[in-house]
Structure 1
Amino acid sequence: MATPAAPNVPFLDVLDPAFDFEAPEVYAAQAESWYADSPFGLLVLRYEEASDLLRDRRLNHDGRRYMETHGITEGPIYDWFVPMIVNHEGEEHRRLRGLMNKAFTARRMARLRPFIREQAEQLTDGLDDGGTHDFVADFGIRLPLAVMCRLLGVRPEDYGHFGTWTADLGLVFGLSGGEDIVARLENAVVGLNDYADYLIDDKIARPSDDLSSDLVAAYQSGDGQVSRDELRNLLVTLVFAAHDTTRHQLANAMVVFSQHPGQWTLLSRQPDLATRAVEEVMRWQPSTGTIYRFAAEDFDYKGLAIERGRYLTMCVKAAQRDPRAYKNADRFDITAVRDVSPLQFGAGPHHCLGAALARVEVSEALSVLATRLGPPSVVEPVTWPGPLGIQGPEVLLLRFG
């Protein structure tokens, strides 16, 4: 746990069930200081410092320490998370990253775009009846699930299994939510590990033109590029990178546009604004609300002594509304040209592998939805998860137009 807050340093209780990163006290703290203290350690509130620290090699993910912080010292979740690619540094990370980069090449994105468009159009057909729909179930989960399965070469008849498991993987960044979170995550990890083993064997027997087959070929080459255990972990991690945050970002976009219907109307008239709209939606209501790091060594940053092992949380949502980084930071505007990039994909060597794919999916979805449907309106109040980790409603009842 964190040491007590230093004198004159703001303190924000992120463990309070009522805490919200949109609360006035957060932005009062941001105006006062680039960081605040909390029950979990330092909260980095401003854009410049969050961007700097996400690139700082003196910080790391330390998956083992993260698990232990939440009381998990063994079991399926621990065995999946600790060896994950993001928890490696240096040569080991470069080796695994080189394999994963094959997933998200410009060529592969170009080949996927027509499929993404087609899927978005088909799913929009189901929303175009004037009725109430759970956008998460009817669109938000189904689009990235179909794309991820296409990317990996998962058979369509297996999509249903994946839908439940992949929707729960992002809970790994919300472990403070309690025992139900842990149980759901463990079930997802066990199911996906078993399916990854099946997929590996299937691609060994029947290779095809998909990412899983490419990775299996690297495993079979015998030159030590990747072990079977590493391959299983990479496939499960790819599921996470290609699905969970994107399905939340799609739902978050609908919430934002329900609050700004004029912006939706503008997008419907100018669908070429879709790319810019994606960046603004991710800035305003990111699906990754916070990103954690641990200090790997003692060091000084802007006059603050940070001791080895200190837990730091980059407060993405607050930083992406920092008026020092964004002109009219408190205004949602899909026509705005922003000079800095969203932080939710991280930065440096650990920049999210799925960032380009997520942008393509959300862009195609917004373009199709806005040109065919009227502005979304939320039928029932939205329930959000706690403020840490992946952010997005589990259920989102909407009407369009």
Structure 2
Amino acid sequence: MQQPAFGKTDIASWFGTYSNRLHDDPYPFYDYLLEQEPVHYIEERWFWIVSRYEDVNRILKDPVFVREYRNAMPEGTEIPEPPPEWKPVNELLNNWMLLRDAPAHTRLRSLVSHAFTPRTMQRLKTGIQEIADYLADRMEEEGRPDLIASFAFTLPVIVIAELLGVPPEDRELFKDWSHVFAKVLEGSDQTPQFAEQTMKATSEITEYFRLLIAERRAAPREDMISDLLAAQEKSDALTEQEMIATCVLLLVAGHETTVNLIGNAVRLLLTQPDQHALLLERPELIASAIEEVLRYEGPVQTTSRIASADCEIGGKTIPRGQSVIVMLGAANRDPAQFNDPNRFDIARQPNRHLAFATGAHFCLGAPLARLEGEIAIRTLLNRFPHMRLAEDRADWRPNILFRGLQTLPVIV
């Protein structure tokens, strides 16, 4: 089959208007980037695109590349203020560890990291399995469920809600809030309508967690918010605004990515009969299969950094203060790093993919995402070994940053 032709205009349009042509199957485009434009500057949008594994890995690990614009520029540089309508959102995002550099990032991360230790994961295992079994029971009753709505969305939202201490009756509120902040992270929608939608979501979610924190302060329980409040005697403890922001970040990062991981894994297995059969025959490959899903159809396709000094990458100089979009999805298909990278192989070894990034910002929730993914896919395979797709065409969400399905109708 002849590969579609791409050019430099496609690179610019990739980060402009959403295009089904480029996003339904981005991998031929990634092949083009890797072969022809591994380091490319988009003048119209003032940032660089970097796609090769070696370069992406270096940028993510090199302290020269930072997250905060103020840390990239000389002291005294005037930092442009966000538009007034975006100020409440920026105040929230400025307390996300994901978007901070050391020492703030180190402090915020250390205060939350206990929730993702191996001991905590072991404690969560039974509960996640019970949730997966319950959702599988409901799927069986439906006969032809939408796997995203009935299972992939619901499982991680219950898990992250229980982790934070959100009451079951409030879980449905998370859906719209989470999708709004996923689009905020993507950064492509700058319309007044989306600004209004974002302001509303920011106000609602901030007030929600403010009230929940007040409840836990008065009556602590066994959840993360209570644990963070218990640590407030420490000099480096989270402020209330930081705690609210951290709860929002855990909601978005812990939910959006895992929904995509589960949905992408099921679709891959149902469209790759040989790999589906292999996993049924050798269930011990489940962990390896999840790693291959993360590499082959990663839930997060890009991240970004800012150069804090002139730096040469791939034979080109990236000047201080310019942004770099690192293409995780392309790096994970780089033939210089992975043998036969466009083949889905659940037994692939080694598999040092960058789906969770690397360096100081390696995904804090990676152990939880892996655990949920393994339990979800093992449960679905055991319960529905003959499950098949109800529709051939993939219904991808129109989002450049996150790669996941809006719906996935299946016959169980």
Please indicate, yes or no, whether the TM-score normalized by the shorter chain is above 0.5.
yes
Q: Give, in whole Å, the separation in 1 of the partners of 2:81 and 2:132.
A: 40
Aligned to 2:75: none
Deviation at 1:284, TM superposition (A): 0.9
Pick the aligned partner of 2:404 from 351, 372, 392.
Answer: 392
Deviation at 1:367, TM superposition (A): 0.5
Q: Does 1:34 align with 2:43?
A: no
Q: Give, in whole Å, the separation in 2 of the partners of 1:184 and 1:64.
A: 28
Pick the aligned partner of 1:24 from 25, 28, 39.
Answer: 28
Aligned to 2:391: 379
CA contact (8 A) 1:177 1:386 kept: no
Q: Does 1:350 align with 2:361?
A: yes
**CA deviation map 1:128-180 (0-9, x unaligned):** 25732222111111100111111112222222222332343322222314535
**CA deviation map 1:65-84 (0-9, x unaligned):** 9x989978733322211232
Deviation at 1:51, TM superposition (A): 0.9
Q: Does 1:189 align with 2:202?
A: yes
Amino acid at match of 1:240: V
**CA deviation map 1:315-336 (0-9, x unaligned):** 1111111111111211101112
CA contact (8 A) 1:254 1:376 kept: no
SS at match of 1:305: strand
Aligned to 1:4: none
Q: Give, in whole Å, the separation in 2 of the partners of 1:63 and 1:186.
A: 23
Residue correspondence of structure 1 range 70-85 to structure 2 within 5 A: 74-85=86-97
Aligned to 2:310: 298
Deviation at 1:188, TM superposition (A): 3.1
CA contact (8 A) 1:9 1:37 kept: no
Q: Give, in whole Å, the separation in 2 of the partners of 1:209 and 1:299.
A: 47
Q: Does 1:122 align with 2:134?
A: yes
Amino acid at match of 2:61: R
CA contact (8 A) 2:48 2:325 kept: yes
Q: Does 1:140 align with 2:152?
A: yes
Q: Give, in whole Å, the separation in 2 of the partners of 1:235 and 1:139.
A: 23
Q: Give, in whole Å, the separation in 2 of the partners of 1:212 and 1:130.
A: 36
CA contact (8 A) 2:306 2:322 kept: yes
CA contact (8 A) 1:141 1:167 kept: no
Amino acid at match of 1:395: T
Q: Does 1:243 align with 2:238?
A: no
Q: Give, in whole Å, the separation in 1 of the partners of 2:323 and 2:258.
A: 26
Q: How many residue pairs end up in the alignment?
A: 391
Aligned to 2:223: 210
Aligned to 2:378: 367
Residue correspondence of structure 1 range 305-320 to structure 2 within 5 A: 305-320=317-332
Amino acid at match of 1:52: R
CA contact (8 A) 2:95 2:246 kept: no
CA contact (8 A) 2:85 2:195 kept: no
Seen in structure 2, the aligned counterparts of structure 1 residues 391 and 339 have a Cα distance that, compared at 3 Å, is closer
Q: Give, in whole Å, the separation in 2 of the partners of 1:130 and 1:153.
A: 29
**CA deviation map 1:283-310 (0-9, x unaligned):** 1111101111121222223432111221
Aligned to 1:60: 66
Deviation at 1:371, TM superposition (A): 1.6
CA contact (8 A) 2:220 2:226 kept: yes
Residue correspondence of structure 1 range 234-273 to structure 2 within 5 A: 234-273=246-285
Deviation at 1:103, TM superposition (A): 1.6
Amino acid at match of 1:347: T
Pick the aligned partner of 2:348 from 330, 336, 342.
Answer: 336
Name stretches of at least 5 consecutive residues in structure 1 with no aligned partner.
1-7
Name stretches of at least 5 consecutive residues in structure 2 with no aligned partner.
1-6, 72-78
SS at match of 1:292: strand
Aligned to 1:5: none
Q: Give, in whole Å, the separation in 2 of the partners of 1:277 and 1:300.
A: 36
Q: Give, in whole Å, the separation in 2 of the partners of 1:224 and 1:359.
A: 30
SS at match of 1:128: helix
Deviation at 1:208, TM superposition (A): 1.6
Deviation at 1:350, TM superposition (A): 1.1
SS at match of 1:335: coil
SS at match of 2:58: helix
**CA deviation map 1:204-259 (0-9, x unaligned):** 1111222111111122x163422111111112112123211111221122222232
Q: Give, in whole Å, the separation in 1 of the partners of 2:133 and 2:99.
A: 38
Q: Give, in whole Å, the separation in 1 of the partners of 2:174 and 2:58.
A: 36
Query: Which moved further from structure 2: 43-52 or 13-22?
Result: 13-22
Q: Give, in whole Å, the separation in 1 of the partners of 2:29 and 2:238.
A: 48
Deviation at 1:98, TM superposition (A): 0.9
RMSD between superposed Cα atoms in Å:
2.7
